[in-house]
A and B are shown apart, each in its own frame.
Chain A
C-alpha cells in the first residue's frame, strides 16, 4: 500500500529557462524586420483621406520622402495660427523650400534609385487645393514627378 506514497517532501523541479533568451531574440528579430524607425515628429495635424480599391501600399521606404501639409498642431497653433502649413523634415517651410528639399533628398539616395524617388504627400482632408497645387507645381519644377497622395485604406467600404 505504501508503495506509491513518497516519503519526505518532494521538491518541485526547476523550470529550464536556458532557451528563454533565444526565444526573446527571435521575437526581437521579428520586430526589427517588420517595423521601421519612427519618422520625424509631425508638427502639423494630418488626417489623410480614405480610399478603397485603388490604394497601393508603398514598398521600399528608402525611396519615399514625405511632405506634410495641414494646420499646425495645438502647440504651434498659438504662434502660427490655424492656416495650413507645409512641413519638410522637422521644420515648417515655405513652398520655395521644396526645391532645395528635393535636391537634398535626391542627393542622399543611391545613384540607381534616383529616378525611382517618390514624394508622399501627406495632406490633411480639409486643406484647400491652392497650397496643394503650389506644392505640385514646385515639385514639377524640381523634377520630382512621382508623387503619392497619401491615404488610408477604408476597409469598411471595401466590397
Chain B
C-alpha cells in the first residue's frame, strides 16, 4: 500500500564481535595444541610356532641386545660379547648391519633384488634381537630402540647420499625412499622377555 520501497532496517551487528569472542575462548579452552609424536614400530604377527623358526637363523647373522634387570646393556654378535655403554650401541649396530669390511663373523652379504631398482649387495638376513627382562626400565629400553633406529637411519642417509646424491628425507617419496628403505630394512625382533638369573 505504501508508496515507494520501504528500507529494511540494518541488523544491529555490534554484538557479533562478542559472540565470536566467546566462541574463540571456548575453543582455546577445550582444545590442545600438542601433536603426538613417537617412535614407530611394527610388531610381528602373533604366531605360537614362530619361536622355532628363529633357531634356523645362522649365528653370524644375529646380534643379540639384552637389557637386564640392572639396566645393563649386553651385546653379543660374532665380534663382540660384553656389557656396553649406550653410547657405543649405535656404532656397533651400524658395523653389524653394514658389515663394511665383509667380515666373516658379521652378517653375510648377498645380492638382493629390489623391485624397480636392481640388484644391491646388502646384509638381507641380519637380525637384531632385542631382549629384556620383566623388570627392565622402560626408559632404557626406549633409548636402546632409539639408538638402533638411529643406526638404521644413518646408514640409510649415507647410502642415499652415495647413490642419489641427497639425504633420505630429500629423496623422492615414491621412487627413491622405498629403495633406500629396502636396502637397509629394519630387522629388529622384539622377543618375549625372559627371566634372567631369577629362581624359577
B95 within 8 A of A: no
- Across the interface, do B32 and A28 meet the contact criterion of CB distance under 8 Å? no
B1 within 8 A of A: no
Partner of A128, one of B13, B39, B135: B135
- Across the interface, do B150 and A53 meet the contact criterion of CB distance under 8 Å? yes
Asked if A24 meets B138 with Cβ closer than 8 Å, knowing A133-B193, A143-B46, the reply is: no
Question: Which residues of the other chain, A, contact B139 by a CB distance below 8 angstroms?
Answer: 49, 125-126
Partner of A51, one of B20, B141, B142: B142
Nearest Cβ in chain A — how far from B90, in angstroms?
11
- Across the interface, do B13 and A54 meet the contact criterion of CB distance under 8 Å? no
Question: Which residues of the other chain, A, contact B146 by a CB distance below 8 angstroms?
Answer: 51-52, 54, 151
The dominant DSSP class at the A interface is: mixed
- Across the interface, do B36 and A35 meet the contact criterion of CB distance under 8 Å? no
B76 within 8 A of A: no
Question: Which residues of the other chain, B, contact A145 by a CB distance below 8 angstroms?
Answer: 42-45
A-B CB pair tally, cutoff 8 Å: 153
The 9 closest A-B CB pairs, nearest first, are A130-B134, A35-B31, A21-B16, A140-B46, A148-B38, A150-B38, A125-B139, A54-B149, A129-B136
Residue positions of A touching B, CB distance < 8 A: 17-18, 20-21, 24-25, 27-28, 31-32, 34-39, 48-49, 51-58, 61, 64, 118, 120-121, 123-130, 132-133, 136-137, 139-141, 143, 145-153
Can you list 19 A-B contacts (CB < 8 A)?
A21-B13, A31-B27, A32-B31, A35-B31, A37-B32, A51-B142, A52-B146, A55-B39, A57-B37, A121-B38, A127-B138, A128-B134, A128-B135, A129-B138, A140-B43, A140-B45, A146-B43, A149-B38, A149-B142
